[in-house]
Amino acid sequence: MSPISRRSRAGYSMIELLIVVVTLAVLFATVAPRVTTIRESSTLRAGRQQLASAFSAARAAALHKGRPSALIINGNEITVRVRSGLTNSNVRVYGPLRFDVSLGITLEQLGGAPDSVAYNARGMLSNDVGFDQPLRYRLTYGTKSDTLCVSAAGLILPQGCTL
């Protein structure tokens, strides 16, 4: 009788590979929704910061130049212009910033907020809108949305639109 020789084989069995694949699938299924939520939140936060920067740039341009400036919203596009020079020509100082192209965000005015916000030479809002409520703008990305509020003084309000 000859002894049965058994050769050792390197590698993994089919069952071991199947267990690894199933474990990875379960892990991916639990992590994927969280990644999507984190991505939506961070994109929305970036859009809110860019919109706040545009309002700040309009106010700063008016204060710096001592001349009126305007933030103009055209759909999802924002531009800031300031009057400059002896001819009162409008000079673009910010933008155009296209939220739908750069971030995939949609921008809308809420509660009658104007699509053109004017700052006077002292950096105060000079629109003919009621000063009892802040100007509100909604940013939407995917299933999430955020609101940016601007006070009657032209300042960006922190999270929430309460004064």
- Domain membership of residue 107 (yes or no) is yes
Residue 163 lies in a domain: no
**Residue 126, domain member (yes or no):** yes
Model confidence pLDDT, tens digit, residues 61-86:
888 888 888 999 888 899 998 887 77
Q: How many domains does the chain have?
A: 1
Confidence of residue 92 (pLDDT cuts 50, 70, 90): confident
Show the CA angle centred on residue 106, arms to residues 102 and 83, nearest 5°: 75
User: What's the sign of the alpha-carbon dihedral 29, 30, 33, 36?
Assistant: negative
Nearest residue to 126 via CA among 85, 51, 55, 68: 68
Range of the domain at 120: 14-150
Domain membership of residue 5 (yes or no) is no
Instruction: Residue 80: give its domain's CATH number.
Output: 3.55.40.10
Kindly state whether residue 77 falls inside one of the protein's structural domains.
Answer: yes
In a domain, 162, yes or no: no
- Per-residue pLDDT at 22: 92
pTM, rounded to two decimals: 0.75
